Amino acid sequence: MSKPELEFHVPDRTWRVPAGAGPGVEERVLAEDAGRGSRTVLVRWAPGTDSSAGGVVRHGFWEEVYLVEGSLYDLTLDRTFTAGMYACRPPGMPHGPWTSPDGVTMLVITYPEPGSA
């Protein structure tokens, strides 16, 4: 299976708390292929969200993130990332933790390492 074929439309999926997410984090799934582990989601953090309890994150899939609005403060890098900025992270790349004093909305696309699915 693959992600569904979808022409421009208004997604009817609602915001929900993803499994394992900390307080203040919600996502809206736009498209996914659960069998392959590919997802396109909007993720939003409420003002004041802090992921520091989870520490630095590493995962076994590719992740692309585009900040749509708001900002994230990276506690490891001591740097603020703002709307319009983009990240592309290969599997295993360490990133975070973050805080978002004013909130943030991100477009997040994840997919497996080529050849791993």
**Residue boundaries of the structural domains of the chain:** 44-108
User: How big is the chain, counted in residues?
Assistant: 117
Which position has the token pair 């984090």?
A: 25
Give the model confidence (pLDDT) of 70-110 as tens digits.
Answer: 999 999 999 999 999 999 999 999 999 999 999 999 999 99
The radius of gyration computed from the CA coordinates of the chain, to the nearest angstrom, equals 14
The answer to whether residues 40 and 30 touch, using CB atoms and an 8 Å cutoff, is yes
Rounded Cα–Cα distance for residues 101 and 110 (Å): 25
Architecture field, domain 44-108: Sandwich (2.60)
The answer to whether residues 109 and 88 touch, using CB atoms and an 8 Å cutoff, is no
Tokens read off for 21: 């997410």
Give the model confidence (pLDDT) of 32-76 as tens digits.
Answer: 998 888 999 999 999 999 999 999 999 999 999 999 999 999 999
